[in-house]
Amino acid sequence: KGWATSAGADLGTGVGKAAAAYIQTNLGGNANIAMVVCDSLGPVCSVRHDAITAALKVVPNVKVVASQDAFQTDKAEPLVVSMLTAHPEVNIVITNNQGGTEGATAAVKQLGLQGKVWVFGIDMTNVAANYLLESPPVLMYTVGQDSLSVGKASAQMMVQVLSGQTVDPAKFVAPVQEYPRTDTAKINQYLTDHQGQ
């Protein structure tokens, strides 16, 4: 009857644009990138990957030199350690989901590469929020789904359907939520709102 979601392409565009802007502003437009994807999960992740690739095209001197599929933190961390060890030229890691974001950040810290490798991720959690507040910086940005808006829209649709009403629109796409590390007020508010989660 209807469905609600956050657009995967918007998540990918958000992280891709943030990484591209950082590369242009702080790295002279040059970067060697390692990607942590979750394409094995199907379109939910591959559309994110495609959007990241498109957003990075504004920076001509970037090269993806390594890519691994991992969507759980405990799998992503050792994979990123391996990628960074095999490709010491990598200075940016871009991830497609929560496990990749948390695992990549942990891998950079494990290898002591703070100040040499920066992570741009997708999905927001308390772990990611705390990484965004840490110094020296590793996780620079993440973009998350607005679960509250999706939940509200879904509940409203359910009430309409059960009341015999037509759901219009049949599709609700919630805007994504961006969390650059510079917005400490928003990050701290997230932690306040999600205590104990």
What is the model's pLDDT at position 166? Answer: 82
pLDDT in tens, the chain (197 residues): 778 888 889 999 999 999 999 999 999 999 999 999 998 888 888 999 999 999 999 998 999 999 999 989 999 999 999 999 999 999 999 999 999 999 999 999 999 999 999 999 999 999 999 999 999 999 999 999 988 889 999 998 999 889 998 887 678 888 999 999 999 999 999 999 988 76
What is the model's pLDDT at position 139? Answer: 98
What is the model's pLDDT at position 44? Answer: 84
Handedness of CA 2, 194, 35, 12 (dihedral sign): positive
Contacting residues for 31 by C-beta, under 8 A, at least 6 apart: 19, 23, 59, 61, 62, 63, 91, 92
What is the model's pLDDT at position 163? Answer: 94
What is the model's pLDDT at position 17? Answer: 98
- What separation in angstroms does the CA of 87 have from each of 32, 65, 77, 105? 9, 8, 15, 16
What is the model's pLDDT at position 1? Answer: 79
What is the model's pLDDT at position 119? Answer: 98
In terms of Cα–Cα distance, which of 65, 79, 81 is closest to 32? 65
